[in-house]
Amino acid sequence: MNSKEMLKRLQPLIALAAMVIALSVIPETHSTFLTFSNVRNILLQISVNLSLSIGMTLVILTGGIDLSVGAILAFGGAFAAGLFKNGLSLSLFGVQVQFTVLGAVIAGILAGATLGLHNGLVITRLRLPPFVATLAMLCIARCFAMLWTNGHPVSALGEHFDFMGAGSFIGIPMAVWISVALAILFQIFSKRTPLGRYIYAVGGSEKAAKFAGLNVNNIKLWVYTLAGALAGVAGLIQTARLDTAEPNAGLGYELDSIAAVVIGGTSLSGGRGSIFGTILGCLIIGVLNNGLVLLGVSPFWQLGIKGYVIIAAVAIDNLSSRKKE
């Protein structure tokens, strides 16, 4: 690996280090930014985005996109919360099924995976572009969340359910432990398993992957299903953190997810990137959001700044791709 390639790979880390140093010395933030409570808060805040962004990384590595992750997050969290609190009435059999915390968690993840599988089927069987298919799922999943909850939040879930989002172990929030475990698991999955290598192959060249004998449609089905399942996990974390499942949760979360993936060095054209880079991208977004809040920047300006950060990241990626060509 030459020095230019090494520098390109280190760009997210350099950007994160520069932001941390800047916020540590600016008079308005130097006394609050690097405190344990603030660092803990940043890690807690990015836990949901990291779960979403791991799935988004897999999707973008294949050359796709998923605009439905925020809505799937809302439905997955609401579905699990509703089952745990109210159970499931099987009126045809006169039975009321009650769910444990584990049962509700599994149901929430399966709900997300099912909607993700729906995305994959529409993309591979109906040949719709991922942008269109997942935009439609954004509406469908939001509809399901509203219908399931009748448009009302599901709250007062209890300490056992809330532990995965609001609890802590040795001073570190459980939400952080969960997101770190997922990041390690999927870093190994993407780099050390056949399916992980196939994902890169599909993103590098779909035609070449087909000529090599890979079942591209099945690989895409797996990718979108995993992205949906991870959005379900993110929904569970958020619901447990807030002790409430909101049917309109996750609005705009796809923006932060896509931003984290692209800033972390994953190419929108597919085939290049890593989960580790996405972790750095999530940290950059988290530190940026936290720093802007500490500096008293208006939330309206924060959206604009994030938009320009995305433009800069994609422009750098395009410039690097042109140089290679």
Position 227 scores a pLDDT of 97
Position 312 scores a pLDDT of 81
**Fold (CATH) for 3-324:** ABC transporter involved in vitamin B12 uptake, BtuC (1.10.3470)
Task: Copy the structure tokens of residue 114.
Answer: 């099912």
- Three-state DSSP at 244 gives strand
Along the 325 residues of the chain, how does pLDDT read in single tens digits? Answer: 566 666 667 788 888 899 999 999 998 888 899 898 999 999 998 999 999 999 999 999 999 999 999 999 999 999 999 999 998 887 777 788 899 999 999 999 999 999 999 999 999 999 999 999 999 999 999 999 999 999 999 998 999 999 999 899 888 899 999 999 999 999 999 999 999 999 999 999 999 999 999 999 999 999 999 999 999 999 999 999 999 999 999 998 998 899 899 999 898 888 889 999 999 999 999 999 899 999 988 888 888 887 888 788 778 767 766 655 5
> Of all helices (H) and strands (E), which one includes residue 267?
none
Position 325 scores a pLDDT of 52
The residue among 56, 85, 94 whose CA lies nearest residue 73 is 56
User: Distances in Å between the alpha carbon of 67 and those of 37, 134, 140, 251, 257?
Assistant: 33, 5, 12, 11, 10
Q: What's the 3-state SS for 150-211? A: CCCCEECCCHHHHHHHHCEECCEEHHHHHHHHHHHHHHHHHHHCHHHHHHHHHHHCHHHHHH
The residue among 216, 222, 310 whose CA lies nearest residue 266 is 310
Position 281 scores a pLDDT of 93
Q: pTM of the entire structure?
A: 0.92
Position 153 scores a pLDDT of 94
How far is the C-alpha of 113 from the C-alpha of 118, rounded, in Å?
9
User: Distances in Å between the alpha carbon of 6 and those of 1, 13, 14, 270, 309?
Assistant: 7, 11, 12, 19, 22
Per DSSP (E only), the strands in 67-179 are 88-90, 95-97, 154-155, 168-169, 172-173
